[in-house]
Amino acid sequence: MGRSFLIPVLGPDAFATLAAGSKWLHNNVAWAFMLGLVMTFCMWVVHNIPNKLDWQWIKAGGGIFTKGHPSAKKFNAGQKIIFWTVMVLGVSVSLSGLSLLFPFQMPMFADTFGLINSVLGTSLPTDLAPHEEMQYANIWHSIVAFVMMVAILAHIYIGSVGMEGAFDAMGNGQVDLEWARQHHDLWVAEVKAKQDEGGSS
């Protein structure tokens, strides 16, 4: 699709340069993406463990179906869903990307298909040549990346024009106290309790 559109517009030489540069950039930015994934997990996993409160938030549709926002701690159920979506899809897209970068050292699909066969009783192929491994990895990498982009674009919409005050929160890391009380009341109570403890000691 991209080739059929861009080659007539740019010409084959310019397209070849653009494609080679884009591939180099993609392959090298991937390391920063994987590092960011690990850092994000380490910093925020403790706040994203599901609990009973999240079910109440989901039943209320995050406040869409009720008056006011459901109670939430630092991260509400919607944010937790985004967190775990990014973690699961991010790991998957990283593993398939590594398999594409190192097809002889990191074949993924023969073993994966073998595991699926043993669990589900299917008959997926388990004797795959390196180019077949790369074909499966390329398809999986593209599908997962596309799903991840859709989720992130939806998150960007909610965090910019979809929710008043959310853009400022992402821009400078701070929120208005009243906004915090409306969206994350339990978190505000926790912070105030810690401040009161610190002031009284």
1-47 residue pLDDT tens: 567 888 888 888 888 888 899 989 999 999 999 999 999 999 999 99
120-170 residue pLDDT tens: 999 999 999 988 999 999 999 999 999 999 998 888 887 776 666 666 666
> What is the domain count for the chain?
1
Q: Taking the C-alpha atoms of 147, 148, 153 and 154 in order, what is their torsion angle to the nearest 10 degrees?
A: 70
Q: Of the candidates 92, 192, 101, 68, which has an alpha carbon nearest to the alpha carbon of residue 143?
A: 92
Per-residue b or e along 6-21, where b marks 16 or more CB atoms closer than 10 Å to that residue's CB: eeeeeeeeebeeeeee
Is 74 or 172 the better-scoring residue by pLDDT?
Answer: 74
175: left (phi over 0), alpha (psi -120 to 50) or beta: beta
Weakest-pLDDT range from 39-43, 134-138, 188-192, 195-199: 195-199
d(CA 37, CA 50): 19
| pLDDT for 172 | 67
Which CATH number characterizes residue 145's domain? 1.20.950.20
Q: Has residue 158 been placed in a domain?
A: yes
DSSP 155: H
Task: State pLDDT tens for residues 43-98.
Answer: 999 999 999 888 888 888 777 766 777 888 888 888 899 999 999 999 999 999 99
Domain assignment present for residue 37? The answer is no
CA distance linking residue 189 with residue 192, whole number of Å: 5
pLDDT of 196 over the 90 cut: no
Residue at 7 is within a domain: no
Please classify residue 41 by burial: count the beta carbons closer than 10 Å to its beta carbon, then call 0-12 exposed, 13-18 middle and 19+ buried. Answer: middle
Q: What is the pLDDT of residue 14?
A: 87
Q: Are 30 and 94 in contact (CB under 8 A)?
A: yes
Q: What is the pLDDT of residue 138?
A: 94
Select from 154, 17, 155 the least CA-distant residue to 75. 155
Residue at 27 is within a domain = no
In a domain, 12, yes or no: no
Which residue range is the domain that position 61 belongs to? Answer: 48-200
The pTM assigned to this predicted structure is 0.81
Give SS3 for 178.
Answer: helix
